[in-house]
Amino acid sequence: MLTDYHLHLRRDGAEYTAADHHSAENAAAYRAAASERGISELGVSEHIYRFTEALEIWRHPFWERFASDDLAAYCAFVREETDLRLGIEADFIPGAEDRTAELLARHDFDYVVGSVHFIRDGAVDMDDFSVWGSGRSVQEIWRRYFETVAESVRSGLFDIIAHPDLVKYWGDGARRPEGDLRRYYEPAIEAIAETKVAVEVSTAGLRKPVGELYPATPFLEMVLEAGAPIALSSDAHTPGDVGAGYEVALEVLGSLGIREIALFDRRARTLAPLGGEEAK
Ligand SMILES: [Zn+2]
Ligand SMILES: [Zn+2]
**Mean of the per-residue pLDDT values for the chain?**
96
Q: Ligand 1 is a single-atom ion; what residues have CB below 5 A from it?
A: 115
Q: What pLDDT shows up at residue 277?
A: 62
Bond preceding residue 209 cis, omega within 30 of 0: no
Ligand nearest to the CA of 12: 2
Q: What pLDDT shows up at residue 272?
A: 97
What is the C-alpha separation between 263 and 261, in angstroms, rounded?
7
What's the pLDDT tens digit per position in 152-178? Answer: 999 999 999 999 999 999 999 899 999
Distance 55 CA to ligand 2 centre (A): 19
C-alpha distance across the termini of the chain, in Å: 14
Q: Ligand 2 is a single-atom ion; what residues have CB below 5 A from it?
A: 89, 235
Is residue 112 predicted with pLDDT exceeding 50? yes
Q: What pLDDT shows up at residue 278?
A: 54
Ligand nearest to the CA of 88: 2
pTM passes above 0.95 = yes
Q: What pLDDT shows up at residue 53?
A: 98
| C-beta separation of 57 from 95 below 8 A | no
Q: What pLDDT shows up at residue 14?
A: 82
Is residue 189 predicted with pLDDT exceeding 70? yes
Closest of 265, 250, 177, 179 to residue 220, by C-alpha: 250
Q: What pLDDT shows up at residue 45?
A: 98
Helical residues (DSSP H) of the chain, grouped into ranges: 18-21, 24-36, 61-66, 71-81, 97-105, 138-154, 182-195, 217-226, 246-255
Distance 264 CA to ligand 2 centre (A): 17
**102-119 average pLDDT score:** 98
Is residue 72 predicted with pLDDT exceeding 70? yes
What's the pLDDT tens digit per position in 4-35? Answer: 999 999 998 888 999 899 999 999 999 999 99
Q: What pLDDT shows up at residue 280?
A: 45
CA distances from 111 to 5, 126, 204, 206 (A): 9, 26, 19, 24
Q: What pLDDT shows up at residue 134?
A: 83
Residues 6+ apart with CB under 8 A from 175: 132, 138, 141
What's the pLDDT tens digit per position in 125-153? Answer: 999 999 998 899 999 999 999 999 999 99
What is the C-alpha separation between 82 and 234, in angstroms, rounded?
19
Distance 279 CA to ligand 1 centre (A): 28
Is residue 273 predicted with pLDDT exceeding 50? yes
CB contact burial 95-131 (16+ within 10 A = b; e otherwise) = ebbeebeebbeebebbbbbbbbbbbeebbbbeeeeeb
Residues in the chain: 280
